Amino acid sequence: MSGDTYLAYDYPLLSAFWTMMVFFLWIMWFVLLFRIVVDIFRDDELSGWAKAGWLVFCIVLPFLGVFVYVIARGKNMGRREIKQARDQQQAFDSYVRETAKGSAPTSSVDELAKLSEIRARGDITDEEFNRAKQMVLSGSRH
């Protein structure tokens, strides 16, 4: 038998489980580290030097830095994340409202006022004005 065949006998199911568990915890550790780095930059209460200090602490001594950060400032991490999500939602909602206002259908009075301004400037003739006015009043907007 070749060396590949013996691998299944040398690596039992429990060892595979522990390997997967360690790999999962390793990935979760990096997720936590990245969330902390994002939280450091998101926090407006920290000065630039404090942000630099926390960042260096979390990068140079990652395990200790992350644990100390979670203990010292972890309570407000969720609050800052929720605040940012709410701010983004409000900004999106106001953008949608402003965009919807711009594309709202104009009334016939507004269109007639615009037509009379265009005629007063001399951009259209009286005949074109009367034709456009009839279209606005009849409801067809071509």
pLDDT value, residue 97: 85
Low-confidence ranges of the chain (pLDDT < 50): none
Residue 12, token pair as written in the block: 């039992």
pLDDT value, residue 100: 79
CA distance 45 to 125: 63
pLDDT tens for 24-53 read 999 999 999 999 999 999 888 889 999 999
* Residue 75 · residue 82 · CB < 8 Å: no
Percent of the chain with pLDDT over 70: 87
pLDDT value, residue 3: 53
CA distance 97 to 102: 9
| Cα 67 to the center of its chain, rounded Å | 27
pLDDT value, residue 20: 93
